[in-house]
Structure 1
């Protein structure tokens, strides 16, 4: 069964900006676009190097119980301009109904302009498993043990 994500536009949102959509038949992520408030649509949002901005999408979404939406960077923006997400991946829980904003960060050396309607991130819809947590006095042994960061080698 394919989950259905219900999407509602904010009252101020531009209906000409596309809803999230998959750009190719094999795409795992649906592109999300900036939908800027009327006072920012002409000049856009300028993101200085190392600055962050919560970029509005003009959307609210309803995710079915048992699923989440992961918001991830777009590889082209990251490669060409150093634009990423400050909290990647961002998680949208099935019980959240507030505005969908994308927390972008400019890791590049030049200011970057986010224009109205630009594709700024991608959304992955994934199933969720909630675990049960129990206090324990001991943990099972493994070959790796307590080896942490880099403990399994370079490759």
Structure 2
């Protein structure tokens, strides 16, 4: 059976869900809905509007798994970077497969752990690395003929 046909009813259900804050936090989801949502997270055919909604749900695994996908469309990345839950942004900052330029957008995140995860990216563009000591207010100290930050 075609994957798009199989996901169709599930997508309709998820898009029709009220916003998470309207449903009430703390209510557990039974196993069949948890399985459905976990399946949507890993489904490469899941549409962007579904992927944007998933991190707002109460399931912690879903909330952190979507930002760790390697194939996120730009509109989903934008939604993740602006997400109010720091854990969602942090999960994206730790995503080694994400575009380094997109991860660098989290260097100015208000959550220090998220900004630190973005700064720990070994593929961080050099121009972004150079501005990190200034953000941390690290003084420059002359050493011999060079100036370094400490």
Q: Structure 2 length normalisation: TM-score?
A: 0.23
Q: Which has the higher helix share?
A: 2
Q: Which protein, 1 or 2, shows the higher relative CO under an 8 Å CA cutoff with sep ≥ 6? A: 1
Q: Which has the higher strand share?
A: 1
